[in-house]
């Protein structure tokens, strides 16, 4: 497949890493507490994917809605401090519920609460990335939600669709599956228009789709408009997005088996090209590493950059910043997110990785730039 061709449903079949977002409208059965039986059903499907060797990361809403029920509140509050309180109460039940169901399959879960800042601040971005990557490598199922208790208005994601897309970018997932209370994206809001028709497939950044996507119900908030926007964001790193009803039997396993269900929103570019462009376009370059000839060759062979191959460091950068790697003549070779700040990197010049702890007193990672965070130019 060429870089410019869109990816269709086969992208779901081939997916090795999937982010699944489950919305409030669905999880809470229209406000009647957490729908634990339904959660059990999705967990069974996630476990089935896991057994096939697919990495699954869940983004689950429901904390505010579950907390409202526990607190006896009928109406979703608008005051941030009340939303925070409800989320703190509800997140407990949500975590317990997932943990219980996953343990039936012998699977371990991890609760990960993120804020927008965690993904926009470079250092925290890299921290979130390495923690999540480690969890996934350990075959743990991360269950992510927004950290509602500490966020304030201006740093809220505002909806978990966006969070799902940012996590798909972060982990370079192949697919984002958004489960909601409708069969997919319709050409008008089916709650208000009985003649609305399901859109089976489209391009993630087609403005016509954004135009038909409306707002959400009382429990969820983003509606279809944030789902279509999430698909656009996910497409930046090459992920395909499926929007489908979580109430359809075996919806997750059927989607990854390639069945035509829900709405599929394709990225324009094949994943590798999109991911590289996304990473390269992310940030301003904050520093420069000069590599010896051996390190240049290793990088071109898609390996990580170790301190031993670096001969000079310039600029002032912190862990998580983008740096450019140049060869001995100063020609750019690669760009990547660096694991150590400039001062530490200077101390590590030419050193073997097993010396890092003796030199710095700690080890963040054995490599200066991990190959997953590296784009060869």
Ligand X SMILES: Nc1ncnc2c1ncn2[C@@H]1O[C@H](COP(=O)(O)OP(=O)(O)O)[C@@H](O)[C@H]1O
Ligand Y SMILES: N[C@@H](CCC(=O)OP(=O)(O)O)C(=O)O
- Summarize the annotated binding site for ATP as residue ranges: 21, 180-181
Task: Looking at residues 55 to 84 of the shown chain, list those that interact with ligand X (rule: CB under 6 A).
Answer: 61
CA-wise closest residue to 198 among 164, 244, 255, 144: 244
Cβ proximity to ligand Y: between 190 and 222 the closer is 222
CA-wise closest residue to 175 among 55, 47, 337: 55
Residue 201 is a binding residue for ligand X (CB under 6 A):
no
CA gap 22, 257 in Å, rounded = 19
- Which parts are annotated binding residues for substrate? 61, 148, 160
Figure out which of the listed residues 9, 15, 24, 344 binds ligand X, where binding follows CB under 6 A.
24
Task: Looking at residues 26 to 45 of the shown chain, list those that interact with ligand X (rule: CB under 6 A).
Answer: 26
Q: Residue 62: name its binding partner from ligand Y, ligand X, none (Cβ under 5 to 8 Å by kind).
A: ligand Y
Cβ proximity to ligand Y: between 91 and 290 the closer is 91
- The piece of 145-153, 214-222, 297-305, 310-318 that touches ligand X (CB under 6 A) is 214-222
CA gap 121, 128 in Å, rounded = 10
Cβ proximity to ligand X: between 180 and 232 the closer is 180
Kindly report each contact of residues 78-84 with a partner whose C-beta sits within 8 Å and lies 24 or more positions away, as own/partner: 80/151, 80/152, 80/153, 83/148, 84/148, 84/149, 84/150, 84/151
The token pair at 332 is: 């750019």
CA-wise closest residue to 36 among 99, 79, 115, 82: 99
CA gap 338, 323 in Å, rounded = 7
Q: Kindly state the smallest distance separating residue 3's Cβ from ligand Y, in Å.
A: 31
Cβ proximity to ligand Y: between 24 and 339 the closer is 24
Per-residue x/- mask for ligand X, residues 238 to 267, rule CB under 6 A? Answer: ------------------------------
Q: Residue 64: name its binding partner from ligand X, ligand Y, none (Cβ under 5 to 8 Å by kind).
A: ligand Y
CA gap 83, 64 in Å, rounded = 6
The token pair at 106 is: 């012998």
Cβ proximity to ligand Y: between 262 and 307 the closer is 262
- The piece of 24-32, 130-138, 150-158, 166-174 that touches ligand X (CB under 6 A) is 24-32
CA gap 54, 177 in Å, rounded = 14
Q: Kindly state the smallest distance separating residue 68's Cβ from ligand Y, in Å.
A: 9
Cα R_g (the chain), whole angstroms: 22
Contacts to ligand Y by CB under 6 A: 23-24, 61-65, 87, 145-146, 148, 159-161, 216, 220-222
Q: Residue 217: name its binding partner from ligand X, ligand Y, none (Cβ under 5 to 8 Å by kind).
A: ligand X
Q: Kindly state the smallest distance separating residue 105's Cβ from ligand X, in Å.
A: 24
Sheet of strand 374-376: strand arrangement: 310-315, 285-291, 322-326, 332-337, 374-376
Cβ proximity to ligand X: between 26 and 126 the closer is 26
Exposed e or buried b per residue across 124-144, where buried means at least 16 C-beta atoms within 10 angstroms of its C-beta: bbbebbeebbebbeeebbbbb
Contact footprint for ligand X (CB under 6 A): 23-26, 61, 180-182, 185-186, 188-191, 212-214, 216-217, 220-224
């Amino acid at each position: 497949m060429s870089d410019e061709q869109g990816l269709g449903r086969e992208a779901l079949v081939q997916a090795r890493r999937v982010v699944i977002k489950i919305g409030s409208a669905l999880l809470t059965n229209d406000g009647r507490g957490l729908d634990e039986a339904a959660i059990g059903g999705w967990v069974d499907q996630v476990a089935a994917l896991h057994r096939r060797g697919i990495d699954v990361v869940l983004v689950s809403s429901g904390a505010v809605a579950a907390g409202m029920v526990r607190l006896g509140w009928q109406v979703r509050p608008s005051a941030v401090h009340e939303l925070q309180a409800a989320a703190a109460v509800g997140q407990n039940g949500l975590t317990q519920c997932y943990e219980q169901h996953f343990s039936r399959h012998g699977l371990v879960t991890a609760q990960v609460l993120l804020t927008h800042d965690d993904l926009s601040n470079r250092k925290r971005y890299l921290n979130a990335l390495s923690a999540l990557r480690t969890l996934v490598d350990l075959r743990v199922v991360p269950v992510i939600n927004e950290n509602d208790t500490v966020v304030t208005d201006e740093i809220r994601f505002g909806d978990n669709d966006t969070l799902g897309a940012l996590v798909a970018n972060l982990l370079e997932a192949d697919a984002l599956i958004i489960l909601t209370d409708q069969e997919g994206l319709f050409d008008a809001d089916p709650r208000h228009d009985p003649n609305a028709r399901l859109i089976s497939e489209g391009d993630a950044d087609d403005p016509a789709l954004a135009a038909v996507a409306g707002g959400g119900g009382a429990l969820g908030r983003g509606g279809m408009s944030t789902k279509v926007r999430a698909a656009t964001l996910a497409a930046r790193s090459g992920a395909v997005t499926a929007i489908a009803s979580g109430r359809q039997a075996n919806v997750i396993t059927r989607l990854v088996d390639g069945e035509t269900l829900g709405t599929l929103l394709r990225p324009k570019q094949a994943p590798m090209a999109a991911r590289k462009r996304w990473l390269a376009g992310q940030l301003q370059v904050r520093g420069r590493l000069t590599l010896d000839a051996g390190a240049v060759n290793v990088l071109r062979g898609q390996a990580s950059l170790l301190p031993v191959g670096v001969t000079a460091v310039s600029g002032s950068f912190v862990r998580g910043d983008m740096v450019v790697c140049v060869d001995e003549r100063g020609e750019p070779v690669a760009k990547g997110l660096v694991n150590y700040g400039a001062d530490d990197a200077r101390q590590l010049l030419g050193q073997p990785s097993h010396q890092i702890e003796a030199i710095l007193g700690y080890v963040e990672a054995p490599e200066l730039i991990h190959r997953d965070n590296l784009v060869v130019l």
